Structure 1
């Protein structure tokens, strides 16, 4: 992640609070603010081995969000469809191992939201720049959908869209800032969600982008 500046004093840790987004879904405000510099340092190490890239959807569209993966499995997309694969198709090598700090953060956040025993197998790392977005979708490529999704926000703020189990259900908008974590599972595990186009800006920790870590148990 060349050019990223890690500023340990950019933000003071706020008192941790949480907001219920829906049944089984929680926003943990500032939950990883203290660990953010170390998390970004780990992202830089992962990027050096498995560079960010813009995936192609099965329909032939290029995703506006750049991504890479860490863990035993990585999420990939191409003309053959969406799937998890232990091999990075760009490098032909296994994805970088999940850092111990990543696994610890994911476990603690899941437990805080009421999902103890979470063991992530994959971390999808997304990089958003101005105007990048993530369309409403369900996370349903995982065989084990009993486990929650844990999503960590770093850098520029974003507007998180969280809806219901049907695409046309009403969608609520939630502002996510540096250090926030969203966890959803149980009755909300297959809720439609997305990210509105990112507003331009600059953050002391990540520059002109937002980094999102999404932890999943695949099987």
Structure 2
């Protein structure tokens, strides 16, 4: 078997771990619809570089759509129904977003996934995301669905401890990663984005991350 680093996820699905799957190119056929919907979200909730609790600025720019949004400042990480910059509620999640997230989760074995938030990250060359766990959600029984658009990136897939050495997983335009169940708390991140050009996004990589943040009720 070839090392994971050499897999071309653009043309095949790759099992990362039990409960974790790369769906190669799943979103490519609707890429323009996704980017058009993203433009509408950005108009109402522009991208911004969030402040970390330690006082630094994240290299990745971020915005949100859905019932709540993920925010960070000196008081910590949290979900908030209101955009702290505008004082307004976050834009509604576009139907093309929710449909893709549900289909991807179902394809990975997670039935009836209904995300209530989409974190949207914008990477420019040099931007990166350090190894972390997604642990601010109310119910960790729901999976994470992550969609790559634009420039390719190296996704870092670690273990259950931060010190576990991560594997390098190449992701290209339209790839979707789903993880949940026993893989839900895996540490993951993104290596610094390399220079490049994509015909739809230019020198940018977008990442749509779908989650279920709030309890049902």
Task: Give the TM-score taking structure 1 as reference length.
Answer: 0.92
Superimposed CA distance per residue, residues 55-112 of structure 1 (whole angstroms, 9 cap, x where no aligned partner): 0000101000000000001000001100000000011100000011100000000000
- Provide the C-alpha distance between the structure 2 equivalents of 1:173 and 1:182, rounded to a whole number of angstroms: 13
Structure 1 segment 1-219 matched on structure 2, within 5 A: 17-219=12-214
Q: What's the offset of the Cα at 1:178? A: 0.3
Secondary structure of the structure 2 residue equivalent to 1:43: helix
Q: What's the offset of the Cα at 1:23? A: 1.2
Q: What's the offset of the Cα at 1:143? A: 1.0
- Provide the C-alpha distance between the structure 2 equivalents of 1:158 and 1:186, rounded to a whole number of angstroms: 25
Note if contact 1:16-1:31 (Cα within 8 Å) is conserved in structure 2: no
Note if contact 1:137-1:193 (Cα within 8 Å) is conserved in structure 2: yes
Secondary structure of the structure 2 residue equivalent to 1:21: strand
Cα separation, partners in 2 of 1:203 and 1:217, compared to 1, 3 Å: same
Secondary structure of the structure 2 residue equivalent to 1:42: helix
Task: Give the TM-score taking structure 2 as reference length.
Answer: 0.93
Secondary structure of the structure 2 residue equivalent to 1:37: helix
Q: What's the offset of the Cα at 1:15? A: 8.3
Q: Which runs of 5+ in 2 are unaligned?
A: 1-8
Aligned residues: 206
Note if contact 1:73-1:122 (Cα within 8 Å) is conserved in structure 2: yes
- Provide the C-alpha distance between the structure 1 equivalents of 2:196 and 2:12, rounded to a whole number of angstroms: 26
Alignment RMSD, CA only? 1.1
- Provide the C-alpha distance between the structure 1 equivalents of 2:67 and 2:27, rounded to a whole number of angstroms: 23
- Provide the C-alpha distance between the structure 2 equivalents of 1:167 and 1:81, rounded to a whole number of angstroms: 19
Q: Which runs of 5+ in 1 are unaligned?
A: 1-13
Superimposed CA distance per residue, residues 133-182 of structure 1 (whole angstroms, 9 cap, x where no aligned partner): 00000000001100000000000000000011101112100000000000
